[in-house]
Structure 1
Amino acid sequence: MVNRIVPFVLVILLVVIQAQMWFGRGSLPNVTALERKVEAQHAANAKARLVNDQLASEVEDLRAGLGMVEEKARMELGMVRPNEIFVQVNPR
């Protein structure tokens, strides 16, 4: 009788392990979806890193000299020096 139970238990264990592999937390579809999420996050991190590098460069330029401050004031605030004429061109 024990000889009949052991193969049956082994088959049940094999089915359980296979079910976990195909449908469980470590299943192939789940792993593939997680890999896609990781790739998307790497892309988002690369974009954020680029923005951070640009901002760090801008901060360093602002600390280094007044040229960048003047350029920012001209571009964002419309600053003009005395005896200058401000001309705005609208692209079509």
Structure 2
Amino acid sequence: MRLFQLGLFVLLAYLQYLLWFGHNGVEDYTRLSKAVESHQQTNQQLSKRNKLLEADIQDLKLDLEGVEERARLELGMIKPDEVFYRVLPSKQKESK
């Protein structure tokens, strides 16, 4: 009877070891849970970025004003009959 109880105890200890430290145990579960959470956050950020890019694409496809705005801001282009004024900040005199 003692040998049977000892065998059950050893089996219980072995199963507990597998549960906590073995393959697919609690340690692996917590590590994978953190990885999944990190990937979900990354996916949310990329999804927001994709929505903004999609909106930009739709603006450029449908409206000529979007193309004109980009040409003005990014390339510094002006229309043929426009006058361009560039205002520079004034330099303050240094007092000695």
- TM-score normalised per structure 1: 0.79
Question: Which residue does 2:66 correspond to in 1?
Answer: 68
Q: Specify the code of the residue in structure 2 equivalent to 1:65.
A: D
Of the candidates 45, 48, 73, which is equivalent to residue 46 of structure 2? Answer: 48
**Where does the alignment leave 5 or more consecutive residues of structure 2 unmatched?**
90-96
State the 1:39 CA deviation.
1.2
Tell me the alpha carbon deviations over residues 33-83 of structure 1, each in whole angstroms, 9 at most, x when there is no partner. 221111111111110000000000011111111110111111111111123
Alignment of 1:21 onto 2:7: no
Q: Specify the code of the residue in structure 2 equivalent to 1:31.
A: Y
Q: Percent identity?
A: 32
Structure number having the greater helix percentage: 1
Give the superposed CA RMSD. 2.1
Q: Measure the CA separation in 2 of the matches of 1:32 and 1:40.
A: 12
Distance 1:5 1:87, change over 3 A: same
Q: Measure the CA separation in 1 of the matches of 2:59 and 2:88.
A: 28
